[in-house]
Amino acid sequence: MGDIAPLNDFRALISSLPDGDQAAADNVRAILDGFPGPGPVLGTLTDDLEWLARWQRRKTPRVARPLVAVFAGTHEVANNFMDEDLLKIARRRVQGLSRQKAAVRGIAADMNAAFKVYEMGVEHPVPDITKGKSLSEKDCAGAIAFGMEVVAEGADIIALGNAGTGTATAAAAIALALYGGSAEYWAGAHNHSAKDRIKAVEAAIAAQDLSGGDALTYLQYFGGRDIAGMVGAIVAARHQSIPIILDGFVVCTAAAVVHAINPAAIDHCIAGSITSEPAHEALLDRIGCTPRHNFGISLGDGTGAALSMQILKSAASALDTLQ
């Protein structure tokens, strides 16, 4: 990593990424078109199977080694609107995931998916972004590099979730920096803390000089370790031909950072489902992702992405029987 600008190596990685295998996608279409009956035999799942084949670079795509990866971190900005101790909330969320007290764990187990929580400094919250930068450039680069280790799990597809505390506010600040608009538009949660969250996003933006910056700059200013880690996961997965199913608003903000550097860099990602999280649909529109499902789920911890992956796994098994 360069000493002068640690993030430049990642800018280069994002700007030049391998493409998928269109011939593999075409093979899926040929198999399904050859089914001797009324079509399309798998309906809209045809597009998803073509996508899976293209980015796995396999003529017969599969979901044999799925991974549900949940990135967790803590952000001191949450102290501006949470009454309870930040670390207690963060620990409770991580412990619930680790002790299988979460719906996403049951979904993962049902399809024999590996499940891993990436704790990105949960016990060491990043500074309050209303008062300064979330990370130094060096620490941001380190978090991205750590997130890239997700590919070491040997997965053939990844469902990406987030269980950060205060992370939705950090994500809203990134979205505002990337796309403009208002803090209310990106952070206007329909709950008692909405007013304070909006003020926190406004203060975070006002605390930084955004001129001349790019998406990785905004990630450093506002994103914290967990969002930076997911950026690394998305980039590394592309280099290793591993498709990714994105979950909620926070996860899609990490994808938006990558997209802003190179729009084609998230072609190996799909949005598993639309959540009830504020501005999730608007963010998906900005990055050109159409959600595959609407389960009415409010969480962004990988639940919707895992459900979507389970459907895709069944579709891949159905395709296999048609050959």
Look at residue 21 and tell me whether its pLDDT is greater than 60.
Answer: yes
Instruction: Give the β-pairing of 114-119 and 66-72.
Output: parallel
Please report whether residue 165 resides in a domain.
yes
The answer as to whether 55 is a domain residue is: no
- Under the banding of pLDDT at 50, 70 and 90, the label for residue 3 is very low
81-109: pLDDT as tens digits: 888 899 999 999 999 898 878 999 999 99
Instruction: In whole angstroms, give the CA distance from residue 229 to residue 320.
Output: 34
Question: Which secondary structure element, helix H or strand E, spans residue 8, and what is its range?
Answer: helix 8-15
* DSSP, residue by residue, 29-66: HHHHHT-SSSS-TTTTHHHHHHHHHHHHT-SS---SSE
CB 231 within 8 A of CB 147: yes
- Answer yes or no: is 45 within a domain: no
Predicted confidence (pLDDT) per residue in 187-212, tens digit: 986 555 688 899 999 999 999 999 98
Residue 65 scores a pLDDT above 80: yes
Query: What is the C-alpha to C-alpha distance for residues 193 and 92, in angstroms, rounded to an integer?
Result: 20
Mean pLDDT of the chain: 93
**Total number of domains constituting the chain:** 1
Residue 150 domain-assigned (yes or no): yes
Q: Structure pTM?
A: 0.95
Nearest to 216 by CA among 185, 179, 178, 247: 178
Whether residue 170 has pLDDT greater than 80: yes
Whether 59 is covered by a domain: the verdict is no
Q: pLDDT > 90: what percent of the chain?
A: 84
Residue 70 · residue 162 · CB < 8 Å: yes
What is the domain-level CATH number for residue 137?
3.40.50.10210
Measure the CA–CA gap between 215 and 211, rounded to whole angstroms. Answer: 12
Q: Is 271 within 8 Å of 246 (Cβ atoms)?
A: yes
Please check the confidence at residue 318 and state whether its pLDDT lies above 70. Answer: yes
Q: How many CA atoms lie within 13 A of 234 on its CB side?
A: 34
Dihedral of alpha carbons 291, 297, 300, 301, sign: negative
Pairing mode, strands 66-72 and 244-246: unpaired
pLDDT of residue 192: 54
Output the CA torsion 250→254→257→259 (10° steps).
-110
| Structural domain range at position 274 | 8-17+65-312
* Residue 170 domain-assigned (yes or no): yes
Which residues partner with 270 through β-bridges?
A: 245
- Average pLDDT of 152-160? 97
In a domain, 95, yes or no: yes
State the DSSP H helix or E strand holding residue 244, giving kind and residue range, or none if neither.
Answer: strand 244-246
- Is 49 inside any structural domain? no
